[in-house]
Amino acid sequence: MYYLQHATSFKWVPQLACILLCIYGADVYIFRTVTHALVDTWGFNQYLTVATLILLILVGIEKGVERVGNIASTIIPIFLVGFIACSLIIFARNFDLLVTDLGIILKSAFSGHAAMGAFTGASVVMGISYGMKRACYAGDIGIGYASVIHSETEEQDAAKQASLGIFSIFLDAFVVSTISMLLVLVTGVWNQGLHESEAVATALGTAIPYIEYIWPFFIFLLGYSTLLTILTAGKKAAKFLSPTNGEWWYTIFAVLNFSIFSFLGSNQQMLGIMSLVGGLLLIINLYGMVKLVNRISFNFHHKPENSDDSLVLKK
């Protein structure tokens, strides 16, 4: 948000980006996904579940980025180990199909066969659709909330911080999303018209007993850590808009947003709103990066203990 002040003389551009980031930070779609998973599968009371999750979020973001980082560093490894372990069991049981699907994907990527209407081609297209949607939504593609979190780090080496950012995208797009796509393909649930999260759970359920009861726990782990991260970025954007009371007003907005829209509208409507807001943020950030591309200089010989920055914005 701050860099946009250098990209344009229009003051409303960074302010608009902050307003959009505030909306995006209170992600009702993820919130609804978590609460509905707990309510539908475990039979929890919806009102109590919504209230409890809001309380957990407020406690989680109370200490700012430091606490969010500590919570995420605990939750994410648990999710990754559990998800990958379950997925490997599915892949082992469907090894022949896994090899076949990987071969079709690699072949189709260079021949265009995936766009054909044949059965195998259609399965590849559907699998790519699942994977791409998960990757774009999970990977902060041009939206900017991850950069806000990275800007709060105590790490002085810009190269190391950048490598952490790249690694997080690798985990989202190349590990979680790719595994999800392959699960949907090898188990044959791609054509059942299921929602993405339901499709993955159904795929895991073909070999993992009672996974339908375990899966909401994974949804909670990933959803809770994500909500903490993006809500923290939203608070930073609100503080930019109003340094004195922005964070306080934003907390009230988020609580009301989660409370009201947990019961109004549908998941697809919420996803549509978040996708629209994310698309607008992407356009604004692309504009800012293009405007500043000639004003960024890198000092690749910089050492962290020196006082000079390794990334300098030219006047």
For the ranges 76-80, 142-146, 200-204, 245-249, which has the lowest average pLDDT? 142-146
Query: What is the rounded CA–CA span in Å between residue 219 and residue 17?
Result: 29
Sign of CA dihedral 228, 172, 203, 116: positive
Mean pLDDT of 149-166: 69
Query: What is the rounded CA–CA span in Å between residue 52 and residue 31?
Result: 12
CB within 8 Å of 16: residues ≥ 6 apart: 284
- pLDDT band at 143; cut points 50, 70, 90: confident
Q: What is the mean pLDDT of the chain?
A: 78
Mean pLDDT of 68-72: 71
- pLDDT band at 310; cut points 50, 70, 90: very low
**Of 200 and 126, the one with more pLDDT:** 200
Residue 195, pLDDT > 70, answer no
| Percent of the residues in the chain that have a pLDDT greater than 90, as a whole number | 17
Structure confidence at residue 294 (pLDDT): 78
Cα three-residue angle 17-239-313, rounded to 5 degrees? 60
Say if CB 57 and CB 228 are below 8 A apart.
yes
- pLDDT band at 259; cut points 50, 70, 90: very high
Structure confidence at residue 120 (pLDDT): 47
Instruction: Please state the domain count of the chain.
Output: 1
DSSP H/E element including 312: strand 311-313
Query: What is the rounded CA–CA span in Å between residue 14 and residue 4?
Result: 5
Query: pLDDT by residue (tens digit) across 71-128?
Result: 777 877 888 888 888 889 999 988 888 888 888 777 776 665 545 444 444 555 555 5
Structure confidence at residue 250 (pLDDT): 94
Structure confidence at residue 152 (pLDDT): 65
Mean pLDDT of 238-267: 92
Residue 162, pLDDT > 90, answer no
How many C-beta atoms lie closer than 10 Å to residue 118's C-beta?
Answer: 10
Instruction: Fill in the DSSP letter of residue 173.
Output: I
- pLDDT band at 309; cut points 50, 70, 90: very low
Half-sphere exposure of 60 (CA within 13 A, CB side): 25
Q: Of 152, 158, 142, give the one whose Cα is nearest residue 229.
A: 152
Of 222-236, 241-255, 275-289, the range with the highest mean pLDDT is 241-255
Domain, as residue range, for 298: 4-313
Query: pLDDT by residue (tens digit) across 25-48?
Result: 898 988 998 998 889 888 899 999
For the ranges 50-54, 208-212, 235-239, which has the lowest average pLDDT? 208-212
Instruction: Fill in the DSSP letter of residue 199.
Output: H
Residue 274, pLDDT > 80, answer yes
Mean pLDDT of 4-16: 86
Residue 306, pLDDT > 90, answer no
Cα three-residue angle 266-268-270, rounded to 5 degrees? 70
Query: What is the rounded CA–CA span in Å between residue 73 and residue 82?
Result: 15
Residue 56, pLDDT > 50, answer yes
* 305 SS3 class: coil
What is the maximum span of the chain, computed from C-alpha positions, in angstroms? 61
| pTM for the full predicted model | 0.75
Query: What is the rounded CA–CA span in Å between residue 15 and residue 117?
Result: 46
The token pair that represents 174 in the structure block? 């190349």
* 298 SS3 class: strand
Q: Tokens 């692309």 sit at which residue?
A: 286
Query: Which amino acid is it at 131?
Result: G
